Amino acid sequence: MSQRLKVRPRFLSAWLRNPRQVGAVLPSSDGLTQTMAAQVDRGTGLTVELGAGTGAVTSALLTRGVTPDRLIVVEKDQILAAELARHFPALRVLEGDAARLRKLLRRSALGLADNVVSSLPLLSMRTHTRIRVLAQIFAILHPEGKLVQFTYSPRPPVPVRLAYALGVEGERIERVFWNLPPANVWVYKRTRMNLTATRSGIKTLHNDTRAPGVY
Ligand SMILES: C[S@@+](CC[C@H](N)C(=O)[O-])C[C@H]1O[C@@H](n2cnc3c(N)ncnc32)[C@H](O)[C@@H]1O
């Protein structure tokens, strides 16, 4: 495993444009991106990557074996999104806000996602934005799908009470020390109770669970 910390001028200038949105000065290390990608099962499921930046996690997902036709990449920063589209011509790169994820994905018509892999700075977001983003994520996730999320904080990236309200539970999978700053990788899934409710068609508070394939 390469242990380089990469300085990327484009990433740095995105941070200078909008430090709160970018949330980091350096892209994720190989150790972190590989740990994130390892949580994604190899197979034909759909993976949506949020906050792709300069594509560090994107590359790890492709190396992991996610095929380009089953990977959708979302990035809010216009310049980074254009750069991603240029660098990964085989991928669907959507420039847009994860808070409007359902609308963004509607045109792709690929159905629900099996994995959402997110580098979004959730804990730097305003509370109402964080709730909106997470509700959108779980609305586009298959009932048995997972959200892979990293955070630099020792706290969970989804505050415990919010996770409860969303009907999801998280597990810290790994602490990656070789990253600046060190990061924790979490995986969130619907709780068993929510899964049962979802299967029987009962809607939960924020979790708009529509029939698979419909946003
Ligand atoms: C910490 S950087 C991670 C970049 C890259 N994935 C990596 O790990 O090196 C977070 C990225 O999320 C993007 N971002 C932040 N808020 C977003 C939102 N609401 N919707 C889509 N992308 C967003 C930022 O522009 C930035 O590129």
Going by CA atoms, what residue is nearest to atom 16 of ligand 1?
Answer: 21
- Cα 199 to Cα 9, 34, 213: the distances in Å are 47, 32, 14
Domain boundaries, the chain: 29-199
CA of 186 to the centre of ligand 1 (A): 17
Find out if CATH 3.40.50.150 is the number for domain 29-199: yes
CA 18/CA 65 separation, integer angstroms: 32
Sequential pLDDT tens for the chain (215 residues): 444 556 577 878 888 888 888 778 788 999 999 999 999 988 889 999 999 999 999 999 999 999 999 999 999 999 999 999 999 999 999 999 999 999 999 987 788 999 999 999 999 999 999 999 999 999 999 999 999 999 999 999 999 999 999 999 999 999 999 999 999 999 999 997 777 766 666 555 444 433 333 22
| Cβ(53) – ligand 1 distance below 6 Å | yes
pTM: 0.89
Q: What is the DSSP string of 25-86?
A: SSPPPHHHHHHHHHTSPSSS--EEEE--TTSHHHHHHHHHT--GGGEEEEE--HHHHHHHHH
